[in-house]
Amino acid sequence: MIETQDSRLKRGIYLLPNLFTTAALFSGYYAIVAAMKGQFDMAAVAIFIAMLMDSLDGRVARLTNTQSAFGAQYDSISDVVAFGLAPALVVYNWSLYSLGKVGWLIAFVYTAATALRLARFNVQLEGGDKRYFIGLPCPSAAGILAGLVWLGGEFSLHGVNMAYFVLVLTFLVAAAMVSNILYPSFKEVDLKGKVSFMAVLMVVLIFVAIAVNPPTMLFTVFFGYGLYGALHSLWRRYFKA
């Protein structure tokens, strides 16, 4: 049987979107290495870079019509490292190590919650309300922990002195990922459509605010997003029902 060019192409791998996925994976790996060296600010920044790369790979795949089953699986594996293992080891080396066995067990709980969150997301990908995520998205969870570590470096806060707070926060973030709390997905936002002048101005002001003090603003944004989902779900359950 003669193999045609089309059949060979179908067995290939799209390069462009997987380059962004690889960049996210590398950033997560670098965050782990940096944390092992005690470079916690660099580790936190690397996790945020991984978030940026992760947000681009899917969009690039859709824009270039290069979606594939391989890309989806590769993206999930990359997410486990960049948003599960990397943040867990960063907060462990920064703070939780001082709590002994409890510290590394909580770090593992966070890592396992990330893997479970991704597995559930992949199973539920075809169904459900596209306006919401079920459970805190793992990039946002990683943003909370990385933002806290970066914030600690900005204000010279020692992770050991905050160990119990970090322990509780890490556990709550892990629980939020595997919960049934609904979080806005913002997928209904039409990036190709027209918006008002005030909307553009707000976007500019947000970028300026982040540029003025990235650690504070990024932690505030991701922590606020996580808190909003929990409070909104409580409001819907007890007051809107």
**Chain centroid offset of residue 200 CA:** 25
**CATH number, residue 191:** 1.20.120.1760
115 pLDDT exceeds 50? Answer: yes
Q: How many domains does the chain have?
A: 1
Give the range among 68-72, 96-100, 215-219 with minimum mean pLDDT.
68-72
Report pLDDT for 237: 73
113 pLDDT exceeds 90? Answer: yes
Report pLDDT for 205: 83
Ranges of beta strands (E only) in the chain are 132-134, 182-184
Confidence of residue 64 (pLDDT cuts 50, 70, 90): confident
How does pLDDT run across 1-53, given as a tens digit for each residue?
444 444 444 556 777 888 999 999 999 999 999 999 999 999 999 999 999 99
**Where in the sequence is the domain holding 81, given as residue range(s)?**
5-240
**Distance separating alpha carbons of residues 74 and 62, to the nearest angstrom:** 16
Q: 131 or 106: whose pLDDT is higher?
A: 106
How does pLDDT run across 157-169, given as a tens digit for each residue?
999 999 999 999 9
Is the pTM higher than 0.85? Answer: yes
What is the number of other CB atoms lying within 10 angstroms of the CB of residue 77? 13
Mean pLDDT score, 146-153: 95
Report pLDDT for 202: 79
What is the number of other CB atoms lying within 10 angstroms of the CB of residue 66? 15
The amino acid that residue 223 corresponds to is F
Assess contact for 115 and 84: CB atoms under 8 A.
yes
Report pLDDT for 234: 80
How does pLDDT run across 194-214, given as a tens digit for each residue?
666 676 787 788 788 878 889
